[in-house]
């Protein structure tokens, strides 16, 4: 049983069984209120899944890309929960969750990837400040995991289409990251014995707040 937590866009929490069955998923679309809702969402997800924390075996943490302030809330919550329960933390690139959601949807509905599964596509998310974060993929591998062929990058909003077109890459925008899909990616990685996520957060940019400099000397 895997608890998935992601705060790269909004705040999302889910409980998923190892075979991918979703027991619960709850979310808040607010891009700024992560710290205020994360505890309540975890509590709600566990309650809706009808389980207690000791039923969980892993915690999947969305590692971004995402803004510094929001992303670190989810990662800290995931690490604290895993440490408190003494269970493994599974880091997952947040765009992997968006990619597998689109690929599974396409497979079920006969969408784009059903007939073009060898062509690259980019998951693009709004990074605010007139920028987009994007990661390039090509289908699923033998373990059922998205094949990442280019790591997350940041580009000006007005330049994104040109950058992707130059590489023959289809743009697929994502306005959310599903914690259930994040947990599914983690479950498949654990089953395959693979580590697929980064150990450190994929911050889009440095935090705006900086440490103060040395205090000024006061003359006599």
- Give the pLDDT of residue 112: 56
- 220 confidence band (pLDDT: 50, 70, 90): very low
- Mean pLDDT computed over every residue of the chain: 90
Question: Averaged over 98-110, what is the pLDDT?
Answer: 92
Beta-strand pair 121-128/89-92: unpaired
- Give the pLDDT of residue 84: 96
The verdict on pTM exceeding 0.75 is yes
The alpha carbon of residue 59 and the mean position of all alpha carbons in its chain are separated, in whole angstroms, by 13
Question: Averaged over 2-10, what is the pLDDT?
Answer: 96
Write out pLDDT tens, residues 32-85: 778 889 999 999 999 999 999 999 999 999 999 998 989 999 999 999 999 999
20 conformational bin, left if phi > 0, alpha if psi -120 to 50, beta if neither = left
C-alpha 176/C-alpha 142 separation (Å) is: 26
Residues 32/120, Cβ–Cβ less than 8 Å = no
- Give the pLDDT of residue 118: 73
Write out pLDDT tens, residues 150-206: 999 999 999 999 999 999 999 999 999 999 999 999 999 999 999 999 999 999 876
Write out pLDDT tens, residues 108-163: 887 654 445 579 999 999 998 899 999 999 999 999 999 999 999 999 999 999 99
Distances (CA, A) of 94 to 48, 66, 204: 23, 8, 12
C-alpha 175/C-alpha 154 separation (Å) is: 16
C-alpha 210/C-alpha 178 separation (Å) is: 32
Domains of the chain: 2-192 (3.30.420.40)
- Give the pLDDT of residue 216: 44
Distances (CA, A) of 183 to 69, 126, 130, 180, 209: 22, 22, 30, 5, 32
């Amino acid at each position: 049983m895997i608890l998935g937590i992601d705060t790269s866009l909004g705040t999302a929490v889910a409980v998923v069984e190892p075979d991918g069955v979703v027991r619960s998923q709850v979310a808040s679309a607010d891009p700024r209120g992560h710290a205020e809702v994360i505890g309540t969402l975890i509590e709600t997800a566990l309650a809706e899944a009808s389980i207690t924390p000791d039923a969980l075996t892993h915690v999947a943490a969305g590692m971004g890309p995402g803004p510094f302030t929001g992303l670190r809330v989810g990662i800290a919550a995931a690490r604290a929960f895993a440490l408190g329960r003494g269970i493994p933390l599974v880091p997952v690139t947040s765009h992997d969750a968006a990619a597998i959601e689109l690929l599974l949807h396409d497979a079920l509905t006969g969408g784009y990837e059903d007939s073009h599964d060898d062509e690259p596509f980019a998951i693009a998310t709004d990074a605010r400040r007139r920028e987009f974060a994007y990661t390039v993929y090509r289908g699923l591998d033998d373990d059922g995991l998205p094949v990442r062929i280019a790591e997350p990058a940041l580009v000006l909003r007005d330049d994104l289409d040109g950058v992707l077109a130059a590489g023959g890459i289809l743009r697929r925008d994502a306005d959310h990251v599903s914690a259930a899909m994040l947990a599914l990616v983690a479950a498949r990685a654990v089953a395959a014995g693979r580590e697929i996520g980064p150990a450190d957060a994929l911050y889009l940019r440095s935090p705006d707040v900086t440490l103060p400099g040395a205090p000024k000397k006061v003359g006599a």
